[in-house]
Amino acid sequence: MTMAGLDEEYLRDIDRAVESARAEGRFDLAEYFTLRATNDAVREKGAAWLFDSLGEIVEAFNSHGAGIAVDENRTHRFKFDGHWLSGSAVTLRKGIRRLTLEAGWTQSTGDGIMRGGALVCARISHFGFAKEAEDLILLKIDDVPQWFSRTGERELSTFNVRGFKRHFEVFLG
């Protein structure tokens, strides 16, 4: 079955669960399932924006002869703040240089919790340059999903496509 088919099946399962919960008078459960489906859609789109933005930058560099190789892993698990996240990873390679973007969220009870209201957590890291890594979180601010860079324990700054500039400077040397 394709990913699109699995997504459609998941949405049908959520719709059935919501209908069943409402029929049983479990409106709290129906509300939870609806919120979960809404948040999952936001998560998917938020993570896709990160990966698509990175891909567009790589295409631009490669169209000018950069020779950046791309490895993708759509079933990636990684630790973030001591919790397991499931999602995707993309690693860029040029010579011995590596830049990796990981993005995901907790998807089972054993994974832990998403802290600080984060819907998705991501990390941009550089092989051999651990201090250049950057942790990102996707938050809903006034119902608008926005990416933020964690600059300190409780400090956040907005992350947009220009945020990749510093990482490409490190990656390309």
For range 20-48, the mean pLDDT: 76
Query: Is pLDDT of 1 > 90?
Result: no
Flag whether pLDDT at 5 surpasses 60.
Answer: no
Give the chain's domain count. Answer: 1
Lowest mean pLDDT, pick from 6-10, 51-55, 111-115, 151-155:
6-10
Q: Is the dihedral of CA 139, 42, 134, 59 positive or negative?
A: negative
pLDDT of 14: 61
pLDDT for residue 90: 98
**Residue 7 resides in a domain:** no
Length of the chain: 173
- Is 28 inside any structural domain? no
Alpha carbon distance 97, 66 (integer Å): 13
Q: In the prediction, which pLDDT does 3 show?
A: 46
Do the domain assignments include residue 15?
A: no
Residue 23 has what pLDDT? Answer: 74
Q: What percent of the chain has pLDDT over 70?
A: 82
145 - beta bridge partners?
A: 140
Residue type for position 148: F
Report whether pLDDT(40) > 50. Answer: yes
Mean pLDDT of 85-104: 97
Q: Which domain holds residue 122?
A: 49-172
Mean pLDDT of 94-121: 91
Q: 85 burial class (0-12, 13-18, 19+ CB within 10 angstroms)?
A: buried
Average pLDDT, integer, range 49-59? 97
Q: Is residue 5 part of a domain?
A: no
Is 56 part of a structural domain of the chain? yes
Q: Within a domain: residue 3?
A: no
> For residue 118, what pLDDT is reported?
93
Q: Is the residue at 127 inside a domain?
A: yes
